[in-house]
A and B are shown apart, each in its own frame.
Chain A
Amino acid sequence: DQQVKQNSPSLSVQEGRISILNCDYTNSMFDYFLWYKKYPAEGPTFLISISSIKDKNEDGRFTVFLNKSAKHLSLHIVPSQPGDSAVYFCAARLMDSSYKLIFGSGTRLLVRP
């Protein structure tokens, strides 16, 4: 069963506009949510995270929103830049001793100049 879902495999936005990437989860035993950015043939790079006790975290152009009741989180990128073009993975951390991450299948973002 897929505990973390990214239902949009791709997203295309114009440079300067907002990019909104969505993620849904099913397991209530997640205590942290993270977004990673990945370029081809490279490992995922950490972008931003949010604790399950918060509903918003902001870092520069990146903001993550968490709606616990809906089991939904989103990543907003404003303004979008061509260098943001990559695959974005949503990950959720299990609230157990392992702290392992469960990943979604990713959303490929293309920012058009």
Chain B
Amino acid sequence: DTGVSQNPRHKITKRGQNVTFRCDPISEHNRLYWYRQTLGQGPEFLTYFQNEAQLEKSRLLSDRFSAERPKGSFSTLEIQRTEQGDSAMYLCASRQTDSGNTIYFGEGSWLTVV
């Protein structure tokens, strides 16, 4: 499977705990995006990387959120001191800037904060 891979697919955590999601983009895709989707809404942009550089962060990304892409390949999204409002699907997507206009999404990581 050469698509965008995310894990874990589901995570249930208690409020106040930290969680980390991992994304493995399509091989050789230099752009990597994180989105968040809540019920009844479309995906909302959180942040993106060009190789290892984080180039933009949405105002939705509070200081409890941090994303990294240390070697320009996989990425992690960490949420510290989770709150119930963080419950959502976290989507990772990737694209190659030199070819095509499509962003390809992974299957998402569901977070439930109880």
Contact = CB atoms under 8 A, between A and B. Distances in A.
Contact of B105 (A43, A104, A106): A43
A99 B4 CA distance: 18
Interface residues of A, number: 27
B31 A34 contact: no
B41 interface: yes
Nearest to A101: B103
Contacts of B44: 103
Interface residues of B, number: 26
A43 B106 contact: yes
Interface in B87-114: 91, 93, 95, 97, 101-108, 110
Interface in B58-114: 91, 93, 95, 97, 101-108, 110
A49 B102 CA distance: 8
A100 B56 contact: yes
A63 interface: no
Nearest to B97: A99
Nearest to A94: B45
A93 interface: yes
Given A32-B101, A43-B108, A105 B4 contact: no
Interface string A73-113: 00000000000000001010100011111111110000000
A100 B42 contact: no
B45 to A, nearest CB: 5
A99 B95 contact: yes
A45 B48 contact: no
Contacts of B103: 34, 46, 99, 101
Contacts of B4: 43
B8 interface: no
Interface of B: 4, 6, 31, 33, 40-45, 48, 55-56, 91, 93, 95, 97, 101-108, 110
Given A9-B40, A103-B44, 13 more contacts: A4-B42, A32-B101, A43-B6, A43-B105, A49-B102, A51-B101, A98-B55, A99-B103, A101-B103, A103-B43, A105-B40, A105-B42, A106-B40
